[in-house]
Each structure stands twice: as structure tokens, then as C-alpha cells.
Amino acid sequence: MRVLLISINTEPIAMAPLPLGLNCVAVATRNAGHAVRMLDLMGGDDCPSLIREAVAASAPQVIGISVRNIDDQNRAQPRFLLETARTTIATCRALSAATIVVGGAGYSIFPEAALRYLRADFGICGDGEEAFPALLRALERGEPPGGIAGLWRPGALPQNGAAARSELAAQPLPDPALWTVPAGLRPEIWLPFQTRRGCPMDCSYCSTPAIEGAVIRQRPIAGVLQGIAAHVAAGFQHFYFVDSTFNLPPAYARELCAALGAAGLGIRWRCILYPGSVDADLVTKMAAAGCVEASLGFESGCPAMLRNFHKQFDLDQVRTAAALLRDHGIRRTGFLLLGGPGETRESIEESLVFADSLALDQLKLTTGIRIYPGTALERTARKEGVITPGDDLLLPRFYLARGLEGWIEPMLRDWMQERPWCTT
């Protein structure tokens, strides 16, 4: 079939990420024998024209749309980003009679509500590499698309499980030729690369289990090296490992870093660490393999709050991780998530004192927590009446512990004024 795949994300917040998931789906679709064209709307001034040109050039029978962000997770001034997605889908409908399928990280958190809102024909919740070609096969043969894991249709529950989870080892690597980044910009870009999917850590507020599942699935190390080498050959030098917990499982992380170091590809990279399970051996290997920056999401400096978040590490482990990274010249960005269940003025002060003590290179503070379906935070919020029974949470809703409203933001602004390394 003729397939057009569109990444609709135009948001440069934090950084403008390349659509890695869509690239993986494109390669899997091409491998299944279909004609694929990929369009990334990031940076496009006139998106309707770009879509018009792509539709005219590819005459698609199916249009796949990648929905990464639902909102910007900003409690003070939330922006709902799905409106743009709905407009894009309406533009596609006006230009083409193609079947429209949505997928992506943001979509997978809200498979039913987002499908209804976006008015697409199908949604695929979870991994797209197997489910999307399976849907194309059914459409091509004119068969009812039953039995596909993660497939949602408007007004109907999925017939075969709520989410698609593929064995990562069996999935194709992203193709560097599908990126539209000009050669001159390639060395500067933080190219997203994924080595694992799934997170078993069960943090009380996190949406990753809904997107990727709670079981870690690993790409074989040889495949990771092959994928990175292909991108180096295409001119990329900076990599962003988008795995939610780069250091888990520890044995895989050590082996990966040792192999990356031995390969001598000369790359620089950053990653997201779970603050437990960071030891000297791992950090030494990370530094030797080219790691220059790590995100350390400890989220609180108060032991009771860490328990409330279901964190499986303590403050000493965070101190150890921060010190090891500093000693190996790896830049550290810390994260505080303030205002969760049980938060008080005292626990916030404890967190700020703790964060100061780490002398991080950067600290990102978030106030109020976006409530995602299926999480422990959602259950608490419902019990406390923070959200109404019928609320599907698609429009951003935030949890902020009682007693913090009106006080916390001005206090943090003052605190940050003397600390230029802190951002919100």
C-alpha cells in the first residue's frame, strides 16, 4: 500500500526531538513491502502546505500520524497540544480519502479518549512496528482488522489486549536516511536512540508503563552498536538515549557502555538515570564510552515523599550518583517534582536544601504533577475528589497537595533568583 507517515509535533519545548518512533514504524512498514513516505512537521512554517505537498506526492491509501505530546505538563499555564493534532487530521481528511491511523507515546496513554477527540479511523496503543503493518495487511486484503494487539477503533474496545508490545530484539533499527536534518546540522543534534523499552519501577505518577509496559525489553547490544555506527556514518555525533532508565538492568547497562567504549566511535551522549543502581564501575564505563550528561530524576529530597512516589532508592544513593558523575566529568541535571500527595512546606524545604547540597550543574523544578490514567496518583486524586468521576484526564489535570496553592510558586521564584542553574 501507499503510506504517508506524519510526525505532527511542532513543539520546540526543552528541545526539538526527531520522531524516532515514527522512523522505526516507517522502516517496519517498508520491510513489510509498502511504499512509505515520512513527513516531520517540526520547524515547518506552513504545515498545511507541507501536508498538501506530501499527499500530492504520495497519494496515500493510509496516513499514519504520530502523536507524541498531549500537553506541555505545565500546571501554571497548561497548553493542550492535541488541538493542533486534530486540525492536522482534519487537513488530511480534506485532502485525501486515506484511512487515518494514530499512534505514539502521547496517544498510547489515552487510546480511547484521544481517538475520540482526534476523529481518526484507528489508533494503535503501544509499539507500532508489528501492529501497524498488521493493520495494513488487513486493510489491503479487505479483511476486518481483528486480533491485532493494541488496535483501537472509535466506540469499540480492543479485541486483543489494550497495548502492543513487540520483542525489541526482533524490531528493525531506525534508518538514518529517513531524517531530513541537513548534513551541516547533524553533528550538533542530540539524536534520539533507544536501547530498551519498558520500566518496572512503578513510580506513582508515571505514564511509561502505559506506553512501554512494565517489563524491560532490550535490544541486543550488537544491534545497538550497528544502529549507532550507521548514524555516525551519516554524520551524527551526539546521541540521546531515550530509555526511561538507562542504568537498568545494571548488567545490560555495563555491557552496553563497555561495548560502546570499545567500539571507539567517538560519540558524545546523554541519558536518563534511575538514581538507585549507579555505581563507580558503571559511571567509569559511561564516561569512557562518551557520556557527557545525565538526568537524575530524584524528584524529592524528603524520604517520606520518596516513599509516597514509590521510589526504590534513598538519599544516600542519590548523593553517591551525583558525586560519581561529577568526579567523572559528567554534567548532571537534577529534577524535583514538588506538590505530590503528602507534600508540605517542610518537605519542600527539605528537598531544596538537599538539592542545593548536591551542587548540580542544572536543576529543573516542576510544581504540581500531571495526573495520568491508571497510576497510583490517579487513584489518590480520585479518592480526594481532585478529579471528577467522569474525567478521562485527556485535558491536563494536575495534583497539588493542599496548603501549597498560592504560596509555592512565588517562594520558588525567590529561591531560584539566587540560583541561575535552576529552571522550571
Can residue 70 be called a binding residue for ligand B12 (CB under 6 A)?
Answer: yes
The one among 152, 179, 236, 240 contacting ligand B12 by CB under 6 A: 240
Cβ nearer to ligand B12, comparing 92 with 404: 92
Whole-angstrom Cα distance, residue 83 to residue 75?
Answer: 18
Q: Segment contacting ligand B12 (CB under 6 A): 32-40, 102-110, 227-235, 376-384?
A: 102-110
Cβ nearer to ligand B12, comparing 214 with 262: 214
Can residue 22 be called a binding residue for ligand B12 (CB under 6 A)?
Answer: yes
Instruction: List the interface residues with ligand B12, window 334-373 (CB under 6 A).
Output: 370
Can residue 71 be called a binding residue for ligand B12 (CB under 6 A)?
Answer: yes
Can residue 277 be called a binding residue for ligand B12 (CB under 6 A)?
Answer: no
Report CA-CA distances (Å) from 39 to 16, 18, 33, 311.
15, 11, 19, 39
Asked if 129 contacts 20 with a C-beta cutoff of 8 angstroms, the reply is no
The one among 3, 4, 8, 21 contacting ligand B12 by CB under 6 A: 21
The one among 60, 106, 133, 276 contacting ligand B12 by CB under 6 A: 106
Can residue 94 be called a binding residue for ligand B12 (CB under 6 A)?
Answer: no
The one among 51, 89, 96, 132 contacting ligand B12 by CB under 6 A: 132
Q: C-beta of 330: minimal distance to ligand B12 in Å?
A: 16
Can residue 127 be called a binding residue for ligand B12 (CB under 6 A)?
Answer: yes
Q: C-beta of 377: minimal distance to ligand B12 in Å?
A: 12
138 is written with which cell numbers?
488487513
Residue-wise DSSP of 353-421? HHHHHTT-SEEEEEESEE--TTSHHHHHHHHTTSS-TT--S-S--EE--TT-TTTHHHHHHHHHHT-TT
Can residue 181 be called a binding residue for ligand B12 (CB under 6 A)?
Answer: no
Residue span 195-224 as binding mask against ligand B12, x where in contact by CB under 6 A, dash where not: ------------xx--xx------------
Cβ nearer to ligand B12, comparing 147 with 403: 147
Can residue 13 be called a binding residue for ligand B12 (CB under 6 A)?
Answer: yes
Cβ nearer to ligand B12, comparing 210 with 286: 210
The one among 40, 121, 129, 343 contacting ligand B12 by CB under 6 A: 129
Q: Segment contacting ligand B12 (CB under 6 A): 44-52, 61-69, 219-227, 387-395?
A: 61-69
Cβ nearer to ligand B12, comparing 16 with 50: 16
Asked if 317 contacts 363 with a C-beta cutoff of 8 angstroms, the reply is no
Whole-angstrom Cα distance, residue 173 to residue 180?
Answer: 17
Can residue 333 be called a binding residue for ligand B12 (CB under 6 A)?
Answer: no
Cβ nearer to ligand B12, comparing 92 with 315: 92
Question: Own/partner pairs for 216-221, CB < 8 Å, 24+ apart?
Answer: 216/248, 216/249, 217/165, 217/166, 217/167, 217/168, 217/169, 218/168, 218/169, 218/249, 218/252, 219/168, 219/169, 219/171, 219/194, 219/195, 220/169, 221/252, 221/255, 221/256, 221/259
Can residue 391 be called a binding residue for ligand B12 (CB under 6 A)?
Answer: no
Can residue 113 be called a binding residue for ligand B12 (CB under 6 A)?
Answer: no
The one among 36, 65, 338, 352 contacting ligand B12 by CB under 6 A: 65
Asked if 361 contacts 332 with a C-beta cutoff of 8 angstroms, the reply is yes
Asked if 338 contacts 367 with a C-beta cutoff of 8 angstroms, the reply is yes
Cβ nearer to ligand B12, comparing 69 with 320: 69
Asked if 326 contacts 287 with a C-beta cutoff of 8 angstroms, the reply is no
**Which residue of this chain has its Cβ atom nearest to ligand B12 in the complex?**
21
Please state the φ and ψ torsions of residue 142, each to the nearest 5 degrees: 70, 25
- Total residues contacting ligand B12 (rule CB under 6 A)? 44
Residue-wise DSSP of 61-72? SEEEEE---SB-
Strand partners, 156: 153
Cβ nearer to ligand B12, comparing 91 with 194: 194
Q: Is residue 115 classed as helix, strand or coil in its secondary structure? A: helix
Can residue 375 be called a binding residue for ligand B12 (CB under 6 A)?
Answer: no
Cβ nearer to ligand B12, comparing 22 with 55: 22
Whole-angstrom Cα distance, residue 135 to residue 158?
Answer: 13
Chain positions contacting ligand B12, by CB under 6 A? 9, 11-17, 20-22, 24-25, 64-66, 68-73, 101, 103-106, 108, 124, 127-129, 132, 190, 192, 194, 207-208, 211-212, 240, 242, 244, 370
